[in-house]
Amino acid sequence: MHTLTVAALSGFLFACFGSFIGVMIDRIPKGQSIVYPPSACSHCNTPIKPWHNIPLAGFLMLKGKCASCSAKIPLQLFWIEAISFAVGFGLGLMLPG
């Protein structure tokens, strides 16, 4: 497989993990489950559609706002995913092959 393809896939997997880290950062201090209920807007409680929950892409598609109520999505979630993607992409570039 091409090096950039591997790096991009690695970056995406790390961004997914980063997204889960964001969930844990938000829910664990509140004593909430990290797996249920599914992700929802913290302002209007509308469930997040699966295609809006794609790391980085969802934030960019929605321009950083909830699709239902237009409340701002916390920027820290974007940065957690972006940094995770960058780390994964960099590690993917270093893989042999």
Q: What is the pLDDT along the chain (97 residues), one digit of tens a residue?
A: 899 999 999 999 999 999 999 999 999 999 999 999 999 999 999 999 999 999 999 999 999 999 999 999 999 999 999 999 999 999 999 998 6
Please state, in angstroms and rounded to a whole number, the distance separating the CA atoms of residues 73 and 62: 9
Would you state the structure tokens that stand for residue 90, as one six-digit string?
Answer: 């960099």
pLDDT number for residue 58: 98
CA dihedral 56, 81, 51, 63 (to 10 degrees): -40
Q: What's the pTM?
A: 0.91
